[in-house]
């Protein structure tokens, strides 16, 4: 992640088929895929939809929920979450931070239309570019903003119920996982809100505990033994 957010050059990116048949994208500049090679779809469903959003909603009856995603990428986490909320008739305010947005053309080639409703897919691809500059109402239930910022440049005057932390791994982007970045992220989490990520390290656990989160290990997606979830103590 650089200081100046720019659109990702599509001629540097390559589609890769993952183990569950869904596509991801390999970024040679970073040296990493956008999703797990063990399965892009299963990782998004397990780590973010099920262990994040559905876990948060499990003991609640609510009419609306808000999600902040660090690393919007291909939009797969958003699509799965939005489709779930529409089916549950829950209003979703979704903000995804992305310093290097993919082009609309690249997103349209992911094949993720197979994993969501035709209506939502059309609304998303039609309004994706507009969402880079301001929030857009995709349908009566879903509002999306794809914040074209670096993480440290992101500012919001609201907090969120759930944070999906889906940055590239610390091996490739250590600046996304340092104390400053995590502190900046957690300020946007509501009391009793959920922070969820595919990674689990001693440093990350210590940082989150220092910031007042109750930490728990959860079973990881395919290819990973464990993942991390934290609840912000009220």
Token pair for 226: 């464990």
3-class SS of residue 48: helix
Give the N- to C-terminal CA distance of the chain in Å, as an integer.
32
Is 21 inside a domain boundary? no
Kindly state whether residue 82 falls inside one of the protein's structural domains.
yes
Q: Assess if residue 37 is contained within a domain.
A: no
Least Cα distance to 166 among 107, 109, 105, 221 occurs for 221
pLDDT, residue 3, reads 37
In sequence order, the β-bridge partners of residue 96 are 69, 146
Contact 65, 51 (CB under 8 A): no
**Crossing angle for the helix pair 76-88 and 118-131, to the nearest 10 degrees:** 130
Query: Quick check: is 28 in a domain?
Result: no
Gap between the Cα atoms of 162 and 193, Å rounded: 6
Give me the pLDDT at residue 210, please: 95
Give the pLDDT confidence score for residue 8 in this predicted structure: 52
Q: How many domains is the chain built from?
A: 1
* In a domain? residue 110: yes
Give me the pLDDT at residue 222, please: 83
Q: How far is CA 24 from the centre of its chain?
A: 14
Please indicate, yes or no, if residue 139 is contained in any of the structural domains: yes
Q: How far is CA 65 from CA 3, 56, 91, 141, 189, in A?
A: 31, 10, 6, 10, 12
Give the model's pLDDT for residue 4.
40
**How many whole angstroms separate alpha carbon 40 and alpha carbon 134?**
28
Asked whether the CA dihedral 196, 197, 201, 204 is positive or negative, the reply is negative
CATH number at residue 115: 3.40.50.150
| Residues 35, 47: Cα–Cα separation, whole Å | 11
**Domain range for 224:** 42-232
d(CA 9, CA 1): 14
pLDDT at 220: 87
Evaluate whether residue 141 is within a structural domain. yes
Q: What pLDDT sits at residue 1? A: 34
Closest CA to 13 of 25, 1, 5: 25
Answer yes or no: is 18 within a domain.
no
Q: How far is CA 67 from CA 22, 27, 97, 159, 231, in A?
A: 24, 25, 11, 9, 14
Question: What does the block give as tokens for 148?
Answer: 């074209």
pLDDT in tens, the chain (234 residues): 333 444 555 558 999 999 999 999 999 988 999 999 999 999 999 999 999 999 999 999 999 999 999 999 999 999 999 999 999 999 999 999 999 999 999 999 999 999 999 999 999 999 999 999 999 999 999 999 999 999 999 999 999 999 999 999 998 999 999 999 999 999 999 999 999 999 998 999 999 999 999 999 988 888 888 999 999 997
Helix, strand, coil in percent for the chain, rounding step 5: 35, 25, 40
């Amino acid at each position: 992640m650089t200081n100046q957010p720019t659109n990702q050059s599509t001629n540097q990116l390559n589609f890769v088929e993952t183990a569950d048949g869904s596509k991801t994208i390999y970024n040679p500049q970073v040296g990493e895929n956008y999703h797990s090679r063990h399965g892009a779809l299963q990782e998004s469903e397990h780590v973010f939809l099920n262990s994040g959003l559905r876990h948060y909603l499990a003991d609640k009856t609510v009419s609306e929920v808000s999600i902040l995603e660090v690393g919007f990428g291909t939009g797969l986490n958003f699509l799965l979450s939005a489709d779930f909320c529409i089916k549950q008739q829950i209003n979703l305010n979704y903000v995804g931070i992305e310093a290097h947005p993919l082009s609309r053309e690249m997103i349209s080639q992911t094949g993720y239309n197979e994993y969501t409703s035709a209506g939502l897919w059309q609304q998303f691809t039609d309004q994706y570019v507009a969402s880079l500059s301001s929030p857009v109402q995709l349908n009566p239930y879903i509002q999306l903003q794809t914040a074209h910022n670096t993480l440290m440049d992101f500012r919001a005057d609201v907090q969120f119920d759930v944070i999906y932390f889906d940055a590239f791994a610390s091996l490739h982007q250590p600046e996304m996982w340092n104390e400053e970045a995590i502190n900046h992220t957690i300020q946007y989490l509501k009391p009793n809100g959920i922070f969820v990520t595919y990674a689990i390290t001693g440093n990350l656990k210590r940082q989150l505990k220092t910031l007042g989160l109750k930490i728990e290990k959860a079973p990881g997606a395919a290819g990973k033994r464990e993942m991390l979830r934290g609840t912000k103590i009220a």
